[in-house]
Amino acid sequence: MSAARITVFGAGAWGTALAQAFAEMHEVRLWARDPAQIEDIARSRENRRYLPGLALNEALRLEPDFAAAAADADLHLVATPLAGLRGTLRGLRMLQPGTPMLWACKGLEAGSGKLPHEIVSEEFGAEAACGALTGPSFAAEVARGLPTAITLAAADRGFAEHWVGLLHKRRLRIYANTDVAGCEVGGAVKNVIAIAAGVSDGMSFGHNARAALITRGLAEIARLGRALGAQTETLMGLAGMGDLILTCTGDLSRNRRVGLALAAGKTLDDILRELGQVAEGVSTAREVVALAARLGVEMPICATVDGMLHRGLDAGLAVERLLARDPKHE
């Protein structure tokens, strides 16, 4: 297998973890919006803000200049928060519009409610050589080389299989998929359900309640996914059920931590300030509810989370409302 020149845009936890993983086999550059952050990482060989204690591969190149980072790459991998995706794409369109691209952001764009592939299509056109990298993956575990399985989804099967062949590792197993919308719906909505799971755990409702939330949350994901043309098999796989289970149960989940803090009575502003990182479920909740309303899809858990986050709904009352819903066929 030949080495590829890969540039990772975004030096948060996930971007750094992917850069670290791929630097074992490929020539990898890592860029961040803040030059001071990149300089600190280059000097210490450690991302002290997002992945403290992890010694970075000496072969990983830190690049503060956007144009230099983009130049001569075989693959651009955008790992910014979703809010940074469109701006990064516009910069790349000016410099290297034909370079193959993957994105590793999850969610729905604030204001537009668009999935990442829709943003990419608007900025690069429907025929762009591109795909999504998604699935159940905590950055800290990927960076440490712990076994992980994720999905590379692209409308072009040949593109997906080509890059799976180049990027797949023994401890970072990557599976090709052509259902981009399904993979992205799973990756977006699971963050909202994880906030609900965190609230449930924070109120000591137990494992039974968490299992019910995960199961009914998966049903909501499936309903929205089908309305957007997703395949049921995708939503039962890594990018759907797998990502949902991890995010709802793992202590490393930022969205679950948001729910725990809501249950403790903290305000959203305080929660986000203490978190210090983006929790995509916070903004995605509002967009998911709006999208579901436009499509006529019932998503009561997501609506309840939106109420807690953005409409002043008390966490205890929110849970009581969910429990008080009339029984239905599963």
Residue 130, strand partner residues: 101
Residue 174, strand partner residues: 150
Which residue is associated with the tokens 């202590």?
251
**Cα-Cα-Cα-Cα dihedral of 185, 191, 197, 201, to 10°?**
160
Q: Classify residue 320 as exposed, middle or buried by CB count within 10 Å of its CB (0-12, 13-18, 19+).
A: exposed
- Token duo for residue 146: 């712990």
Q: Do residues 72 and 49 make contact, with C-beta atoms less than 8 angstroms apart?
A: no
For Cα atoms 69, 74, 79, give the angle at the middle one, nearest 5 degrees: 55
For this structure, is 190 an active site residue? yes
Q: How many residues does the chain have?
A: 330
Q: Do residues 149 and 125 make contact, with C-beta atoms less than 8 angstroms apart?
A: no
Give the whole-angstrom CA distance, residue 21 versus residue 43. Answer: 20
Q: Which of 114, 190, 266, 328 is catalytic?
A: 190
DSSP 319: H
Positions annotated as catalytic residues are 190
